Amino acid sequence: MLDTIYQHAIQLIDQKNITELSYLIKHLKCDFPGSHGSLTMQQTPAPLSLAIQANSKEAIKNLAKSQKQMEQLLCCPVIERGVLMPDACPAGNTPAVIPVCGVIAVKNAIIPAAHSADICCSLHASFFVSELDTTSIMDTLQSVTRFGPGGRPKSDQVQHDWIHSSESY
């Protein structure tokens, strides 16, 4: 049923040039009487996987709060499953907010606010070919990686022949 409602919503948006969510919902309620109840929060959350282990008192507390936020979020009817990734921590005290390092899979939906936010945290995947051994690569990464607030001034940036700044692209 959700697929049908979703497809109809897309058609309404295109055909009637609808830009207001409340107007779209009004149309959908008229076209699908009684079905809008299927878009209420689920009683049982969607499955949650953990790709994280807590190994300290603080980490256990953070993980428990992050799990609670995810379980609340996973009651949303369009969310099919979720996972908490390494370094997960709660994102404020708002119910059903996605925690830092929380990931969700949705069906027939786009949730613009469904991303975690954290100051000074980032993940960058790099793929490269190197003749260096793993220890040398890891030592170089450790020497050039900084964690914490603020950026790094150009004068403090460490260059290496296989590390390129984003400004060089």
Nearest to 162 by CA among 150, 81, 2, 139: 139
What mean pLDDT comes out for the span 38-63? 87
Give the residue with greater pLDDT, 114 vs 73.
Answer: 73
Q: How wide is the angle at C-alpha 145 spanned by C-alphas 142 and 151, nearest 5°?
A: 165
State the SS3 of the chain: CHHHHHHHHHHHHHHHCCCCHHHHHHHHHHHCCCHHHHHCCCCCCCCEEECCCCCCHHHHHHHHHHHHHHHHHCCCCCEEEEEEEEEEECCCCCCCCCCEEEEEEECCCCCCCCCCCCCCCCCCCCCCCCCCCHHHHHHHHHHHCCCCCCCCCHHHCCCECCECCHHHC
Interval 121-150: pLDDT, tens: 555 556 667 888 888 887 887 777 665 445
Q: How wide is the angle at C-alpha 21 spanned by C-alphas 19 and 22, nearest 5°?
A: 120
Strands 79-89 and 100-106: antiparallel
Residue spans of the domains in the chain: they are: 2-39, 41-142
pTM of the predicted model, to two decimals?
Answer: 0.51
Residue 71 CA from chain centroid, whole number: 14
Confidence of residue 96 (pLDDT cuts 50, 70, 90): confident
Residue 144 · residue 163 · CB < 8 Å: yes
Interval 11-31: pLDDT, tens: 888 888 888 888 888 888 888
Interval 26-50: pLDDT, tens: 888 888 776 555 567 788 999 999 9
Query: Which of 31-35, 47-51, 111-115, 157-161 is modeled with the greatest confidence?
Result: 47-51
